[in-house]
Amino acid sequence: MKGFKFNGIQAGIKKHGGKDLGIIFSEKPASAAAVFTKNRVAAAPVLLGKDRLRHGICQAVLVNSGNANCCTGQQGLRDAVDSAKQAAGHLHIPEEFTLVSSTGVIGSPMPMDRIESALPDLVDTMNPDKVRDFAESILTTDKQVKIEKREGEIAGKPFSITGIAKGSGMIKPDMATMLAFVCTDLNISSDSLDTVLKKSCIRSFNRISVDGDTSTNDTALCLANGMSDAVIETDGDLIVFQTVFDDVLFELAKKIVRDGEGAAKLARITVRGAETPDDAYRVAETVATSNLVKTALTGEDPNWGRILAAAGRSGGRVVPGKIDLEIGQVLLLEKGEWTGKTAENEAASVMRTSEFEITLDLHLGECEDFFLFCDLTREYVDINADYRT
């Protein structure tokens, strides 16, 4: 991918050590688009990002983990501005083209002295090959880095996309439920990029659930520096780019759920035969965010009553006597009635695998939707009980 550099180092921000300060830098000012948390308790970097992205240009983003810079008052906002200013100075770029992003503990003052001390090394040692270093620097409770790379072609001219994300807890479909940074060397306007990002988020980051919480810092940011020869000129070109972009974001979203705090199972709930798109969404979301369903996954228990009860309280239209339910390829419920112990035993066997699909057919229409979600385990409680102390 042309024109991007990355880095991630240890600056002493995280309580338990490890890389915790990262940077993405574009050699040219890039078209930029982002979506942010809808949580009304929004962190200082989110407020700054919303303001600076009005002009649709970004050249660098400084990211730290270990401290959310949220609920830190006016000092927190000043720290976000100052961090961006210092990074811009080292990079010799306009301050207004520099964004910051943070993740970690809420309420603690930013350790500005540590960030200031680490910035020269962070900038001096960045290079195009340090994508993984950056990916490591933004992690909190994650166990795995999340990187996806794709290549595409428009009018015979190649382009590349690299996506990096973090997310393991506080994952609920309310845009954006994590931090995600996507870079491409495609030539595309910020308005078109904004359209692509928002469309893609709907079917990726807005279709995942770990625990039903939404963070104060959630951000998905995309930069397109136009340094390849590929240019978006037609609607067909935009469709080609959207397809590749969607693949990157969907795989990142899937990795987030698979790496959910304490998770051992990845499931997909597909709702078919809904009367309206809203009904399909409501039913899928309610099943995916049900703690009773999640704990049934943990216990490898094909407790179809929990799934049916979630569908019934979703607000979407359901008729119990018409519903079919499958776990894997096993038909567990037909026209609202249990198909028997043999089928249940087979479904339990499916649930002993690490990844499987649940299909709920409402038989009321032609609409369909899905969610990716994980199980809820004792380890999730332990991780979050000990997170701050």
> Phi then psi for 125, rounded to 5 degrees?
-105, 10
Dihedral sign, CA of 334, 338, 342, 347? positive
CA distances from 174 to 167, 209, 214, 303, 314 (A): 14, 10, 7, 27, 17
Burial class (CB in 10 A: 0-12, 13-18, 19+), 131: buried
Q: Give me the DSSP letters along 105-163.
A: ESSPPP-HHHHHHHHHHHHHT-BTT-HHHHHHHT-SS-SS-EEEEEEEEETTEEEEEEE
Cα–Cα nearest to 102, from 163, 161, 36: 36
User: Catalytic annotation on 177?
Assistant: yes
Give, rounded to a whole angstrom, the gap between the first and last alpha carbons of the chain: 41
Alpha helix (H) residue ranges in the chain: 44-52, 73-91, 112-124, 131-137, 190-202, 235-258, 277-288, 291-298, 304-312, 341-351, 378-385
8 Å CB contact between 221 and 22: no
Question: Catalytic: which of 72, 162, 177, 286?
Answer: 177
Dihedral sign, CA of 76, 81, 85, 87? positive
In sequence order, the 6+-apart residues with CB closer than 8 A to the CB of 46 are: 36, 37, 216, 217, 218, 219
Q: Which two tokens stand for residue 335?
A: 């026209």
Amino acid present at 245: F
**For the chain, the helix, strand and coil percentages under 3-state DSSP, each to the nearest 5:** 35, 30, 35
Count of Cβ atoms closer than 10 Å to residue 21 Cβ: 27
Cα–Cα nearest to 159, from 179, 182, 180: 182
In sequence order, the 6+-apart residues with CB closer than 8 A to the CB of 159 are: 151, 152, 153, 184, 185, 186, 228, 230, 241
- Residues classed as catalytic: 177
